[in-house]
Structure 1
Amino acid sequence: MTLRHTAIQVEDVDASVEFYEDLFGYEVLREFETDDGTRNVFVGDPADADTDDPAAFQFVEADRPVDTGDFEHVALTVEDVDAVLDELDDERIQDGPITMEEYDCRVAFVEGPEGWGIELVEDL
């Protein structure tokens, strides 16, 4: 079983796309509009673009402010947690970085443009 995509509603699709492009080097993999005109944009790692269905975030355009509800976070592997944190405004950093020696990793928790939680994981 392979994760194909995670769909999240966002009020500003372009801001979310820009955030993931700038911070993680993701690119728009595909996009479409539903019959009712709702914009859907998939972003992911361009290195995965040649696979049949690369793992991606699907940003679904919302016509109202989004409530993140009970959603905790999605975890992304990064090469250097500290380097990613250096690129963020301090108010986006929720916790970390934390070295978890028992799991051979460093983690940090940050917030995306519309409040969605992101765990950054660096394998040691």
Structure 2
Amino acid sequence: MTLRHTSIRVADIEATVDFYADLVDYEVLREFETDDGTRNVFVGDPADEDTDDPAALQLVEADGPVDTGDFEHVAVTVDDVDAALEGLDDGRIDDGPITMAEFDSRVAFITGPEGWGVELVEDL
């Protein structure tokens, strides 16, 4: 089995698409509207050859502000954690960067648009 995508509700799809485009070069891969008119936009890395469905995130349009509840975070791979953090407002950085030698990685935790948690992972 392979995880196909993660779906999150967002009130401002364009702002969230722009955030992931700037952060990790994600692009809109496809989008559709459900029968009730709810917009769904899939973003990810079109060059990802590890899966037949390269969508990493499904953004589902919300009618208003979203509640992130107990949701912890989505993890995305970056080439360089420090470089990814450079363009972010310090208020978005929650923790890190941290080198985790036991996992051969360097990580940072940030807050994305509308409060969703994002873990940036650099493989060392």
Matches within 5 A, 1:10-89: 10-48=10-48, 52-89=52-89
2:9 alignment partner in structure 1: 9
Q: Distance in 2 between matches of 1:69 and 1:84?
A: 26
**Kept after mapping to 1: 8 A contact 2:44/2:55:** yes
Q: Distance in 2 between matches of 1:24 and 1:109?
A: 14
Q: Distance in 1 between matches of 2:108 and 2:2?
A: 24
Q: Distance in 2 between matches of 1:39 and 1:120?
A: 27
Which one-letter code corresponds to 2:38 in the other structure? T
Q: Distance in 2 between matches of 1:121 and 1:3?
A: 18
How many residue pairs match? The answer is 124
Question: Structure 1 residue 52: deviation in Å?
Answer: 3.0
Cα RMSD (Å): 1.5
Q: Percent identity?
A: 78
SS at match of 1:96: strand
SS at match of 1:48: coil
Q: Distance in 2 between matches of 1:19 and 1:46?
A: 17
Describe the superposition over 1:55-98 as per-residue Cα deviations: whole angstroms up to 9, x where unpaired.
Answer: 32000000010000000001111110000000111000000001
2:121 alignment partner in structure 1: 121
Question: TM-score under structure 2 normalisation?
Answer: 0.95
Runs ≥4 in structure 1, deviation > 6 angstroms?
A: none
Question: TM-score under structure 1 normalisation?
Answer: 0.95
Question: Structure 1 residue 38: deviation in Å?
Answer: 0.5
Q: Distance in 1 between matches of 2:57 and 2:47?
A: 15
